[in-house]
Amino acid sequence: MNIMMMTNTFTPHIGGVARSVETFTVAYRRQGHRVMVVAPEFEKMDEDEIDVVRIPAIQHFNGSDFSVVLPVHGLLSLAVENFRPDIIHSHHPFLLGGTALRMARRYDLPLIFTHHTMYEQYTHYVPGDSQAMKQFVIQLSTSYANLCDLVFAPSQSVAEVLRGRGVLTPIEVVATGVDVKAFAQGSGPGFRAAMAIPADAFVIGHLGRLAPEKNLEFLATAVAAYLQTDSRAHFLVIGSGPSEKIIRHIFARENLTPRLHHVNLLEQPLLASGYQAMDLYVFASKSETQGMVLTEAMAAGVPVVALDAPGVREVVADGINGTLLQDESVALFVVALHSMALLSHEQMSLFKEGARRTARNFSQELMASKALALYAGVRQREGGERQAVKRQEEYGVWEGLVRRIRIEWDIFRNVLDAADAALHSGDPQDKKQP
């Protein structure tokens, strides 16, 4: 099968969507399929990329680490025609998501959309952030999903939210898989030594993009409060982003800087060693749609302490592979860390095995096979429907023009409806969205 992935973020950008696209691309290729990725240009891109089409883009949009694509040129159409995709998979409802819709309609191909993100929780990156803007992006993503043939939700929690928002397109839960074997390897002791972390320290770790929506001010405050009670505890942070400053500020304020260890996000095999260096993984984000870093930590045998949230509750089983906290309380988080630190070797071993068992249920192979089976199903279903249509219609130059007009009208109406919802977001009659 020839699969075209269209995404606004891809390597070397650091983030969940980029890692998800890369993970599925690798897994599909391992199973003998060809994948072409269409993505924006980013700084420090690999010069030897295979089957990747880069679109010119504005770097560091509004001070973030995101790129914003410029209008797509004709070379993309040529690349699509040469690649001959069987399916188009869109990973965003805007920018290249609109291009994906145009391509799918133009070439009469099934369009899959993964709703990776609760977009309303990221509007602080856009000038003029407001409740109306949040309503706009909710409506925009919902309407876009209804223009697709199939929607992937990264977790059951997200699937339920999307149905509640009015997504009528069939929804399937497909999480990003984890390379269990890769994360089970690595050298925790070697990583500790390189980071000047004592071999006998109790290491609390966190990995990911260090951004405000990850709730890192709360997390750093809670971890620092625990470190004040346990002299052998250290905090290992792997990642980069604007919230690095607030983490360092909190630890400096509490005179704990010597026990804060930070390194920018790593590539394999060092990434696995970073996880292996941790005794416990902590997570406080409430904006996730899936627990990708959680399954990575668990594949390394690291239990998790996390706040209950969509995408998290599907992975963290309280008392089995970690602790799931219902309330956002520094005091409760400290108690949870304290309880895990006091576990006997035998008790901690049970949590570690529970973590590894959970990771196996989210393996890269299982998730890729599920997605590929769904691709095949939608191709068969949509192919039959399209053949029936083609028997009834005579496609020529005029019909091609009409189809293109319909595509642009759908995209325009999608934006128009979202804008209307935003403008009326203060009206009680319109508050139907969760």
pLDDT exceeds 90 at position 204 = yes
Mean pLDDT (the chain, rounded)? 85
Q: Is the domain of 171 the same as that of 245?
A: no
- What pLDDT is attached to residue 397? 39
CATH number at residue 168: 3.40.50.2000
Q: Is the domain of 333 the same as that of 382?
A: no
Q: Average pLDDT in the 51-68 region?
A: 63
Task: Tell me how far apart the alpha carbons of residues 408 and 166 are, in angstroms, rounded to a whole number.
Answer: 22
pLDDT exceeds 70 at position 383 = no
End residue of a domain, out of 329, 361, 393: 361
Q: Is the domain of 221 the same as that of 163?
A: no
**Predicted confidence band at 14 (pLDDT cuts at 50, 70, 90)?**
low
- What pLDDT is attached to residue 423? 66
Q: Is the domain of 131 the same as that of 212?
A: no
Taking a C-beta distance cutoff of 8 angstroms, is the pair 10, 94 a contact? no
Task: Tell me how far apart the alpha carbons of residues 133 and 127 are, in angstroms, rounded to a whole number.
Answer: 10
- What pLDDT is attached to residue 130? 61
pLDDT exceeds 50 at position 50 = yes
- What pLDDT is attached to residue 426? 58
- pLDDT, tens digit (0-9, with 9 covering 90-100), for 101-125: 888 988 899 999 999 877 665 554 4
- What pLDDT is attached to residue 381? 82
3-state secondary structure of 242: coil
Pick from 207, 271, 197: nearest CA to 239: 207
- What pLDDT is attached to residue 37? 95
Task: Tell me how far apart the alpha carbons of residues 265 and 361 are, in angstroms, rounded to a whole number.
Answer: 25
- What pLDDT is attached to residue 32? 96
Structure tokens at 144: 């876009």
Taking a C-beta distance cutoff of 8 angstroms, is the pair 264, 133 a contact? no
Q: Which residue did the predictor score with more confidence, 393 or 38?
A: 38
User: Which residue has tokens 């627990």?
Assistant: 291
**Predicted confidence band at 36 (pLDDT cuts at 50, 70, 90)?**
very high
- What pLDDT is attached to residue 122? 54
- What pLDDT is attached to residue 198? 97
- What pLDDT is attached to residue 366? 96
Domain total for the chain?
2
Q: Is the domain of 170 the same as that of 206?
A: no
The region of weakest confidence among 47-51, 58-62, 143-147 is: 58-62
pLDDT exceeds 60 at position 59 = no
Q: Is the domain of 284 the same as that of 356?
A: yes
Q: Is the domain of 140 the same as that of 259?
A: no
Chain centroid to Cα 177, Å, comes to: 11
The region of weakest confidence among 74-83, 204-213, 252-261 is: 74-83
Q: Is the domain of 310 the same as that of 345?
A: yes
pLDDT exceeds 60 at position 226 = yes
Q: Is the domain of 276 the same as that of 383?
A: no
- What pLDDT is attached to residue 433? 45
Note the helical H segments in 277-363: 292-299, 330-341, 345-361
Chain centroid to Cα 9, Å, comes to: 10
The region of weakest confidence among 138-142, 159-163, 203-207, 363-367 is: 138-142
Q: Is 4 left (phi over 0), alpha (psi -120 to 50) or beta?
A: beta
Q: Considering the entire predicted model, what is its pTM? A: 0.78
- Which residues in 44-56 are b (16+ Cβ under 10 Å) and which e? ebeeeeebbbbbe
pLDDT exceeds 70 at position 38 = yes
Q: Is the domain of 194 the same as that of 258?
A: yes
**Predicted confidence band at 310 (pLDDT cuts at 50, 70, 90)?**
confident
Task: Tell me how far apart the alpha carbons of residues 316 and 154 are, in angstroms, rounded to a whole number.
Answer: 15
**Predicted confidence band at 213 (pLDDT cuts at 50, 70, 90)?**
confident
Q: Is the domain of 374 the same as that of 333?
A: no
- What pLDDT is attached to residue 73? 57
Q: Average pLDDT in the 297-301 region?
A: 98
Give the range with max mean pLDDT: 38-42, 72-76, 354-358.
354-358
- What pLDDT is attached to residue 434? 44
- What pLDDT is attached to residue 355? 98
Q: Is the domain of 312 the same as that of 331?
A: yes
End residue of a domain, out of 361, 380, 410: 361
Q: Which domain holds residue 340?
A: 180-361
Structure tokens at 17: 């969507």
End residue of a domain, out of 361, 387, 403: 361
